[in-house]
Structure 1
Amino acid sequence: MKRMLVLNHFPTVYPPTSGGTLRYFHIYQELSNYYDVTLLSQTFSHKGGLFTYSPTFREYKAEKDSNYHKVVQKLQHNELSYEFGLIIQTELSKHPTLLKKQFDSLYDSADLIVHESPFLLQYDQYFGKDSKLRIYNSHNHEYKLAHQIWKNNLARGYLPVLSNLEKKLVRGADLVFSTSEDEKNSLITMYNTNPSKIMVAPNGIQPSEWLPRTKSSNKKPTAFFIGADYPPNIESVEYIINHLADSCPEIQFVVAGGCCTPFANSSKPNVRLLGRVRHKQKLRLLAEADFAINPMFTGAGVNLKTLEFLSAGLPLFSTEFGVRGLNLTPMKHYIHTEKNNFADTLKRFTSDKNVLHGVSLNGQKYINRHYSWKNIAKQIQVELKKLTSN
Structure 2
Amino acid sequence: MRILYFYPENPLLLNQGNNSRANALLHYFKSRSIDVDLVGVESGVFSNDSIEELESGNLITKGYLLKEFKLKKNKIKYFFCYSLPNKIFGRIKHFSRIRFQHQSHFNSILKSNEYDYIIISYAYWARLVIDNPYIKNAKLCIDTHDFLTSQFQNLRGFNLGKYFQKEIELINNFDKIFVISAEENYLFSQFVKKEVITLSHIIENKFSKTTGNKKYDLIYVASSNSHNITGANWFFNEVYPLLNKEINILVIGKVCNYIQDFENVTKLSFVDNLDDYYSDSKVAICPMFSGTGLKIKVIEALSFGLPVVCNLRGVDGMNSKVNNGCLVTNISHEFARNIELLINDKEKYSEISNCGKEYFINNNDKQTCYDKIDVIFK
TM-score under structure 1 normalisation? 0.80
Give matches, 1:25-40, under 5 Å: 25-32=23-30, 33-40=32-39
Asked if 2 retains the 8 angstrom alpha-carbon contact of 1:203 and 1:371, the reply is yes
Could you say which residue in structure 2 is the equivalent of 1:24?
22
Could you say which residue in structure 1 is the equivalent of 2:143?
137
* C-alpha distance after superposition, 1:23-76 (max 9, x if no partner): 11111220232521122112432141233130755543444255673259958x
- Could you tell me which runs of 5 or more consecutive residues in structure 1 were left unpaired when the two chains were aligned: 76-86, 386-390
Is residue 51 of structure 2 the alignment partner of residue 54 of structure 1? no
Asked if 1 retains the 8 angstrom alpha-carbon contact of 2:145 and 2:180, the reply is yes
Pair 1:126–1:327, CA change in 2 (3 A): closer
Give matches, 1:134-173, under 5 Å: 134-147=140-153, 151-153=154-156, 156-157=157-158, 163=164, 165-173=166-174
Is residue 114 of structure 2 the alignment partner of residue 115 of structure 1? no
Counterpart Cα distance in 1 of 2:236 and 2:62: 40
Superposition deviation, residue 122 in structure 1: 2.8
Pair 1:117–1:212, CA change in 2 (3 A): same
Give matches, 1:205-216, under 5 Å: 205-208=203-206, 212-216=209-213
Superposition deviation, residue 20 in structure 1: 0.3
SS of residue matched to 2:183: helix
Counterpart Cα distance in 2 of 1:301 and 1:166: 16
SS of residue matched to 1:44: coil
Counterpart Cα distance in 1 of 2:144 and 2:64: 20
Is residue 237 of structure 2 the alignment partner of residue 242 of structure 1? yes
Amino acid at match of 1:267: D
Could you say which residue in structure 1 is the equivalent of 2:8?
9
SS of residue matched to 2:209: coil
SS of residue matched to 2:236: helix
Pair 1:360–1:212, CA change in 2 (3 A): same
Counterpart Cα distance in 1 of 2:160 and 2:321: 35
- Identify which of structures 1 and 2 has the higher relative contact order when contacts are C-alpha pairs closer than 8 Å and 6+ apart: 1
Could you say which residue in structure 2 is the equivalent of 1:346?
339
Could you say which residue in structure 2 is the equivalent of 1:268?
262
Is residue 224 of structure 2 the alignment partner of residue 226 of structure 1? no
Could you say which residue in structure 2 is the equivalent of 1:362?
355
Counterpart Cα distance in 1 of 2:372 and 2:95: 31
Counterpart Cα distance in 2 of 1:113 and 1:180: 22
Pair 1:333–1:184, CA change in 2 (3 A): same
* C-alpha distance after superposition, 1:146-176 (max 9, x if no partner): 32xxx442xx559788545522332110111
Could you say which residue in structure 2 is the equivalent of 1:180?
181
* C-alpha distance after superposition, 1:203-247 (max 9, x if no partner): 121115x662222354xx621111233332222222232222222
Superposition deviation, residue 292 in structure 1: 0.8
Counterpart Cα distance in 1 of 2:125 and 2:221: 28
Asked if 1 retains the 8 angstrom alpha-carbon contact of 2:324 and 2:359, the reply is no
Asked if 1 retains the 8 angstrom alpha-carbon contact of 2:287 and 2:311, the reply is yes
Amino acid at match of 1:185: Y
Asked if 2 retains the 8 angstrom alpha-carbon contact of 1:234 and 1:260, the reply is no
Asked if 1 retains the 8 angstrom alpha-carbon contact of 2:152 and 2:158, the reply is no
Pair 1:165–1:114, CA change in 2 (3 A): farther
Pair 1:122–1:158, CA change in 2 (3 A): farther
SS of residue matched to 2:344: coil
Superposition deviation, residue 17 in structure 1: 3.4
Asked if 2 retains the 8 angstrom alpha-carbon contact of 1:241 and 1:268, the reply is no
Q: Percent identity at matched positions?
A: 17
How many matched pairs?
355
Amino acid at match of 2:100: H
Superposition deviation, residue 258 in structure 1: 2.7
SS of residue matched to 1:115: strand
TM-score under structure 2 normalisation? 0.82
Pair 1:20–1:242, CA change in 2 (3 A): same
Could you say which residue in structure 1 is the equivalent of 2:249?
253
Pair 1:186–1:227, CA change in 2 (3 A): same
Superposition deviation, residue 315 in structure 1: 1.9
RMSD of equivalent CA atoms:
3.0
Superposition deviation, residue 318 in structure 1: 2.0
SS of residue matched to 1:172: coil
Superposition deviation, residue 132 in structure 1: 2.9
SS of residue matched to 2:28: helix
Superposition deviation, residue 114 in structure 1: 0.9
SS of residue matched to 1:350: helix
Instruction: Point out the more displaced range, 137-146 or 375-384.
Output: 375-384
Pair 1:306–1:55, CA change in 2 (3 A): closer
Asked if 2 retains the 8 angstrom alpha-carbon contact of 1:18 and 1:257, the reply is no
Could you say which residue in structure 2 is the equivalent of 1:288?
280
Asked if 2 retains the 8 angstrom alpha-carbon contact of 1:20 and 1:139, the reply is yes
Counterpart Cα distance in 2 of 1:65 and 1:380: 34
Is residue 106 of structure 2 the alignment partner of residue 103 of structure 1? yes
- Could you tell me which runs of 5 or more consecutive residues in structure 2 were left unpaired when the two chains were aligned: 80-91
Amino acid at match of 2:241: D
Pair 1:381–1:349, CA change in 2 (3 A): closer
Pair 1:268–1:37, CA change in 2 (3 A): same
Counterpart Cα distance in 2 of 1:237 and 1:316: 15
Superposition deviation, residue 193 in structure 1: 1.5
